[in-house]
Amino acid sequence: MNQKIMKLSVLVGIPVMALFITVGMASADPSDMIDPRYIIQGVYGYSIQGVYAVTGFSQCDFGEPSVEEADFEFRRDGTGSIRNGVVRNLPPGPVLTMTAEFEYTVTKEGRIEITYPQAGLALSLMDGTYLMTWDGGPSHGVISPDRKTITISCGPPVVLTVIESTPGNPPLGATAYCMVSLSGIRIK
């Protein structure tokens, strides 16, 4: 009799445990599965802390394609900067530097939106000669759950407008449809 009760309890216990596991998995929100050690939630909502070295391609409707490299620094307060930016046109032409200050938001799922409220993306020659500033730059991205890799883009082709320029460069108000796709890793 004792063995029959043990077999019955095993036969009943396994389906009940399976039911609890299934219900628990079905009700879990996938965004809750991000490793909480890598989510920084502070006064400004979710944020990223670190410097990411990125590289990729860009293309605007009026120019040649180019290869871009830069360091994107994200600070906990929702601000950041683009430093050590280099733009190499294909075919080879003048090498440009790019810098910018930006603000960003990031969702718990890792989707990033970047805005340039004060100026935009400034371009200069390697010798420091200032050329022009666009009103924006790469504006969307995704960061991995472990916060080690990142992708940054303009999203769909974005219209950028020249907001400051020197003679011989596109004039104020000139626009361009641009696509940028950058990916990188955390270096600091």
pLDDT tens per residue across span 92-117: 888 999 999 999 999 988 999 999 99
Provide the percentage of residues in the chain whose pLDDT is more than 90: 56
The pair of three-digit structure tokens given for residue 129, joined into one six-digit string: 């000669």
Contact assessment for residue 84 and residue 52, using Cβ atoms and an 8 Å cutoff: no
Q: Are residues 110 and 159 in the same domain?
A: yes
70 versus 43: the higher-pLDDT residue is 70
Q: How far is CA 45 from CA 79, 80, 82, 138, in A?
A: 12, 15, 22, 21
Average pLDDT over residues 128-141: 93
Residues 7 and 60 in one domain: no
Instruction: Supply the pLDDT for residue 93.
Output: 85
Most confident by average pLDDT, 10-24, 97-111, 153-167? 97-111
**15 plus 87 within the same structural domain:** no
pLDDT tier at 47, thresholds 50, 70, 90: confident
Residue 186 has pLDDT above 50, yes or no: yes
Handedness of CA 70, 124, 180, 109 (dihedral sign): positive
Q: Would you say 183 and 53 are in contact if contact means Cβ atoms under 8 Å apart?
A: no
Q: Are residues 76 and 159 in the same domain?
A: yes
**Same domain assignment for residues 60 and 140:** yes
Q: Are 95 and 88 in contact (CB under 8 A)?
A: yes
d(CA 134, CA 121): 5
Q: Are residues 94 and 148 in the same domain?
A: yes
Predicted confidence (pLDDT) at residue 19 exceeds the cutoff of 90: no
Instruction: Please give the pLDDT value at position 34.
Output: 39
We report the CATH number of the domain holding residue 178 as: 2.40.160
Quote the pLDDT of residue 50. Answer: 95
Residue 80 scores a pLDDT above 90: yes
Structural domain boundaries, residue 125 = 40-186
Give the C-alpha separation, 79 to 72, whole Å.
11
Q: Among positive and negative, which fits the CA dihedral 184, 165, 78, 114?
A: negative
The number of folded domains in the chain is 2
SS3 track for the chain? CHHHHHHHHHHHHHHHHHHHHHHHHHHCCHHHHCCHHHCEEECCEEECCEEEEEEEEEEECCCCCEEEEEEEEECCCCEEEEEEEEEEECCCCCEEEEEEEEEEEECCCCEEEEECCCCCCEEEECCCCEEEEECCCCCEEEECCCCCEEEEECCCCEEEEEEEECCCCCCCCCEEEEEEEEEEEECC
Residue 113 and residue 59 in one domain:
yes
pLDDT at 69 over 60: yes
Give yes or no: residues 60 and 145 share one domain.
yes
Least confident window among 30-44, 88-102, 134-148:
30-44
Predicted pLDDT at 170: 87
Q: Are residues 8 and 46 in the same domain?
A: no
Instruction: Looking at the structure, tell me whether residues 12 and 76 fall in a common domain.
Output: no
Note the pTM of the prediction, 2 decimals: 0.74
Q: 98 and 11 share a domain?
A: no
Mark whether 27 and 107 lie in a shared domain. Answer: no
